[in-house]
């Protein structure tokens, strides 16, 4: 039996890119190095998403919690006490 090769779209199905899709200022591979290094994806519940709408807000809140959970950098005063 002869292998079937996938066919591309018919000429009538090919459409032009919309005018509002302007990639002229785009940079190829802008985030490639960061993505290759690794990413952590966390899915937030809808109620949490309302309180923390972007990654900046989430990171700010989590950094504030780091000293409480004992995983963050300690201030110089707490380092002197433990020494």
What does the pLDDT look like over 48-76, one tens digit per residue?
Answer: 999 999 989 999 999 999 999 886 565 54
User: Is position 58 within any domain?
Assistant: yes
Whether residue 14 is contained in a domain is answered as no
Task: With CA atoms as reference, report the closest residue to 66 among 74, 58, 78.
Answer: 74
Residue 5 scores a pLDDT above 80 = no
47 domain-assigned: yes
- Both tokens assigned to 68: 């409480």
Please report whether residue 78 resides in a domain. no
Q: What is the pLDDT of residues 16-37, one digit of tens each?
A: 888 888 888 889 998 888 888 7
Is residue 69, in this structure, part of any structural domain at all?
Answer: yes
Residue 10 maps to a domain: no
Question: What is the residue range of 47's domain?
Answer: 36-73
Q: Say yes or no to pLDDT of 81 above 50.
A: no
* Cα(49)–Cα(43) distance, integer angstroms: 9
Could you tell me the pTM of the whole model?
0.41
Per the structure, the count of domains in the chain is 1
The pLDDT confidence band at residue 6, using thresholds 50, 70 and 90, is: low
């Amino acid at each position: 039996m002869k292998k079937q090769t996938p066919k591309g779209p018919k000429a009538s199905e090919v459409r032009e890119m919309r005018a509002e899709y302007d990639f002229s200022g785009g940079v190829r591979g802008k985030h490639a190095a960061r993505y290759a290094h690794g990413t952590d994806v966390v899915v937030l519940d809808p109620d949490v998403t309302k309180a923390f709408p972007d990654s900046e807000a989430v990171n700010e809140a989590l950094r504030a919690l780091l000293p409480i959970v004992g995983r963050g950098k300690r201030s110089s005063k707490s380092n002197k006490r433990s020494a």
